């Protein structure tokens, strides 16, 4: 099952609650609340929608909790800029088990003369209840190559998403990405035999995700 929706995720999550739709994992890369603008020299992307602030975050957390099955694990990518706000918001409903670290194969730009070169991104690892790991327990630092952001300014590598999916979901589980972007989570779900629900507000990225997923 694959369902893609071109809609504000908060409105769509209301429908999920009303219809009693439950998911086994939320795996998403939401706006970081930092008005991000990609400075990639070759590929120019527009600004991410709803990235000016985090006014939506508490409402999102509550709805995420309502649509999650018991004893499930979830992943939320976030930047160091507002990771404290994300952690505090999710702790109101979920158990924040860990902060995972994705080490990329290159460094970002930033302040070239007065700062260390950033090479990692962070993922909040959450649970509702207690979900046991599949396979062996491994360190919380992962090395995966970056994507080059050809389809989206914060595009995540499919192999990283596949790894996360396999550790805490089973085949046939339902995975929800409320900030779907270019559809990388959907691709990972299809590759690994999981059902996928994806929501994306930006029509351009929604169409990219739809075309990408329908071609599999």
Q: Is the pTM of this model over 0.85?
A: yes
Residues 207 and 216: their CA atoms lie apart, in Å, by 15
pLDDT of residue 115: 87
Domains in the chain, number:
1
Residues 179 and 161: their CA atoms lie apart, in Å, by 14
Q: pLDDT tens for residues 105-132?
A: 876 667 788 988 888 999 999 999 999 9
What is the full per-residue pLDDT of the chain (216 aa) written as tens digits? 999 999 999 999 999 999 999 999 999 999 987 554 444 445 444 544 554 679 999 999 999 999 999 999 999 999 888 999 999 999 999 999 999 999 988 766 677 889 888 889 999 999 999 999 999 999 999 999 876 556 557 779 999 999 999 999 999 999 999 999 999 999 999 999 999 999 999 999 999 999 999 998
In the β-sheet with 95-103, what is the strand arrangement from edge to edge? 2-5, 195-199, 174-177, 25-28, 72-78, 120-128, 95-103, 141-143
Domain carrying residue 61: 2-214
CB atoms within 10 A of CB 127: 17
pLDDT of residue 45: 43
Q: Is 2 exposed, middle or buried (0-12, 13-18, 19+ CB in 10 A)?
A: middle
Residues 187 and 216: their CA atoms lie apart, in Å, by 8
pLDDT of residue 179: 97
pLDDT of residue 90: 98
Residues 216 and 212: their CA atoms lie apart, in Å, by 7
Q: Where are the beta strands (DSSP E) in 67-194?
A: 72-78, 95-103, 120-128, 141-143, 174-177
CATH code for the domain of 125:
3.40.50.150
pLDDT of residue 147: 65
């Amino acid at each position: 099952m694959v369902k893609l929706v071109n809609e504000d995720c908060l409105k769509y999550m209301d429908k999920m609650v009303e219809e009693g739709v439950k998911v086994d994992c939320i795996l998403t890369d939401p706006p970081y609340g930092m008005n991000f603008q990609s400075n990639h020299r070759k590929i120019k992307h527009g600004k991410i929608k709803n990235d000016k602030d985090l006014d939506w975050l508490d409402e999102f957390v509550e709805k995420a909790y309502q649509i999650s099955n018991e004893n499930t694990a979830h992943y939320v990518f976030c930047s160091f800029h507002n990771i404290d706000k994300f952690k505090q918001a999710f702790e109101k409903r979920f158990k924040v088990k860990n902060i995972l670290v994705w080490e990329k194969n290159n460094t970002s730009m930033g302040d070239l003369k007065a700062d260390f070169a950033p090479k990692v991104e962070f993922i909040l690892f959450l649970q509702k209840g207690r979900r046991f790991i599949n396979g062996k327990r491994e360190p919380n630092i992962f090395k995966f190559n970056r994507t080059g952001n050809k389809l989206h300014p914060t595009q995540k590598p499919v192999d990283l998403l596949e790894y996360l999916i396999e550790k805490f979901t089973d085949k046939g589980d339902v995975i929800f990405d409320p900030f779907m972007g270019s559809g990388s989570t959907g691709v990972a779900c299809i590759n690994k035999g999981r059902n996928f629900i994806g929501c994306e507000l930006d029509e351009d990225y929604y169409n990219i995700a739809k075309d990408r997923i329908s071609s599999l």
